Amino acid sequence: MLTALLFAVAWMPLINARADWRAGRNAEAIGTAERWSELHLWPSEYQQLLAAAFLTAGNEAAARPHLAAIGSVWFPAIGKPEVARHLFARGRYADFLAYDNASRERSDDDEVLLYRAAAQAATTQSEAAALTFARINAANVDKQKYERLRAEINERKRGLPSPYVLDRANGAIALYHPATNTVIAVDPDFAPIIDRDAGALTIGAHVDQLGPNATIETTLDPFVQKAALAALGDFRGSLVAIDPQTNEILAIANSGTKFDRALESEYEAGSVVKVLTGLNALSSGMNVDAMFPYFCNGFLEIDGRRFGDWVPQGHGRLESIDDALAVSCNVFFADIGLRLGRDRLMRFMTSAGFNAQANLGIFQVPLGRTTGQVFNHFETAFLAIGLEHAQINAMHLAMLASMMANRGVLTTPRLLRERRSILGEIVALPPQQGRTRIATAWAAERMIRAMQAVASEARGTGRRAPVEGLSLAMKTGTAGDRKEGLEALIMAFSPVDKPKIAFGVIAESAGPAEYAGAKIAHDFLERMKPRL
């Protein structure tokens, strides 16, 4: 009776340690198991739990002595399928095989055989996997997992590459080639974000961290990707498109040489920043309307220096902020920036994502950044209009377009839908999307009206962009070195009242955005019209 009581008492901490391990609290599980295993009651079961916890934590060396001590197990503390799911989620297929071999139980049921065959296939033991698979009674396991593994083993035995990156409809974008440990784009439209030679922020460059045996299901849409590439045409540039309703990334398009410009290249931001400057002023309570009518004669005197507009003779009389944004008046927005002051401008830029990163669930992507020292009023004026002190990429531009579509709420975009193991089990979900209201809804609506004027007014720099039947809010930006060729930037969304697409465009050495940038935006929306 006393012996039975001791065994029962010793079993309870095992249950508690197992609960900690299931909840991901490996350190707590290990601590409990180590203390109670010293009683030498349920020794194999405690060793089993310690081995599983150390392997799950990624400490193979610490797990090794516990694996050696497991031996035969009569009453498993945890089932092998559960251990497999924990380890498969971390891409640790070899660790499961080590655990499977060390923990000798009375019999192997069909689910254990399924996981064993999957781990063997994942560790390039195709022949062994086929033999194990042949022992499985299909009636006793999940049909989808069984069929998926059958196909996977057959492909690997024949040396065929496996689907690795999928689009939002589960079509293959890229395959994994085990012989060379490389990821190759199936669809050339996606090559610049897949092939590791295209840059550090590509899926192929992260295959070692991601692991080759879990498929990556993305939010990318081939239709939108093709529309973006067709719109970019012969221009060398990038276009990122986001669904503002979900903030899922629909396209990351790069034209020209195979390089991931959309994520890796940053450019002077230019006049797209004027949207943020105006939003900042309106949201902070500045009486912007009282500044009108505003007369732009082509320059602003700042501390005895002449700050010039991009139109030397000036824009003349401006009736509202709509007019000022439509013609992209440097003088007016520099004036607003001076009234806001450097510190308030910097704080707002930070809230809008500058000097930050976005976690896309596959890798981290740097967003725009502020540069140089803004040490006087003259430099503050440049900051307010996006010159000299602000860099941006197409991903960040698209995020800002989506922020405006969402009336002042900035959201981390989503690229990953989920990752699935070799058996099709979900092993990773996308990170939680961060959401920050950076401006009042009223201020956002007011700036959206001004962004509409950019596309609709006769003098609007985006007047060449609209597509019949689609309402459009946008801002153009022209920046860079005139000698090397100016960059054309666009941030836009459509339709205005119920946005379905938000996008950012950067075209290298394309000249003024009111021509090249507006053409790209028009051509993209023309192709997207059936969806909008």
**What angle do the packed helices 43-56 and 80-88 form, to 10 degrees?**
10
For the sheet containing 267-268, what is the strand order?
267-268, 390-392, 369-370
Q: Measure Cα distances from 433 to 122, 245, 249, 252, 350 in Å.
A: 31, 13, 12, 19, 18
Peptide linkage before 293 cis (omega within 30 of 0): yes
Residues of the chain with pLDDT under 50: 1-6
- Round to whole Å and give the CA distance between 214 and 163: 10
Query: How far does Cα 149 stand from its chain's mean position?
Result: 29
Partnered with residue 174 across adjacent β-strands are 165, 185
CB-CB neighbours of 74 under 10 Å = 9
Q: What tokens were used for 81? A: 């399928």
User: Does residue 232 contact residue 178 with C-beta atoms inside 8 Å?
Assistant: no
- Round to whole Å and give the CA distance between 18 and 146: 28
Query: Which residues are CB-neighbours of 95 under 8 A, at least 6 positions away?
Result: 55, 60, 63, 87
- Round to whole Å and give the CA distance between 300 and 323: 18
CB-CB neighbours of 451 under 10 Å = 27
CA angle 166, 224, 191 (to 5 degrees): 50
Which of 233, 208, 432, 457 is closest to 323 using CA atoms? 457
- Round to whole Å and give the CA distance between 77 and 319: 76
Q: What tokens were used for 475? A: 């801002």
- Round to whole Å and give the CA distance between 282 and 467: 29
Reported residue count of the chain is 532
CA angle 381, 386, 391 (to 5 degrees): 135
- Round to whole Å and give the CA distance between 519 and 333: 25
Q: What tokens were used for 279? A: 């939003």
CA angle 341, 342, 347 (to 5 degrees): 105
- Round to whole Å and give the CA distance between 27 and 323: 62
Peptide linkage before 495 cis (omega within 30 of 0): yes
Break the chain down into helix, strand, coil percent, rounded to 5: 45, 20, 35
- Round to whole Å and give the CA distance between 454 and 274: 12
| pLDDT at site 320 | 97
- Round to whole Å and give the CA distance between 263 and 286: 35
Partnered with residue 316 across adjacent β-strands are 296
What are φ and ψ of residue 352, in 5° steps?
-85, 5
Q: What tokens were used for 153? A: 């083993």
User: Does residue 96 contact residue 213 with C-beta atoms inside 8 Å?
Assistant: no
| pLDDT at site 12 | 78
Q: Which domains does the chain have, with CATH numbers?
A: 2-157 (1.25.40), 162-218 (no CATH), 226-531 (3.40.710.10)
Query: Which residues are CB-neighbours of 463 under 8 A, at least 6 positions away?
Result: 454, 455, 456, 457, 514, 518
Which of 169, 170, 168, 135 is closest to 149 using CA atoms? 135
| pLDDT at site 179 | 81
- Round to whole Å and give the CA distance between 313 and 274: 20
Which of 160, 116, 107, 122 is closest to 134 using CA atoms? 116
User: Does residue 374 contact residue 341 with C-beta atoms inside 8 Å?
Assistant: no
- Round to whole Å and give the CA distance between 17 and 11: 10
Q: β-pairing, 316-318 with 294-296?
A: antiparallel
The DSSP-derived string for 258-281 is: S--HHHH--EE-GGGHHHHHHHHH
Partnered with residue 242 across adjacent β-strands are 249, 502
Q: Which amino acid is at 138?
A: A
Burial 403-423 (b: 16+ CB within 10 A, else e): bbbbbbbbbbbbbbbbbbbbb
| pLDDT at site 2 | 46
| pLDDT at site 41 | 67
The DSSP-derived string for 370-382 is: E-S---SHHHHHH
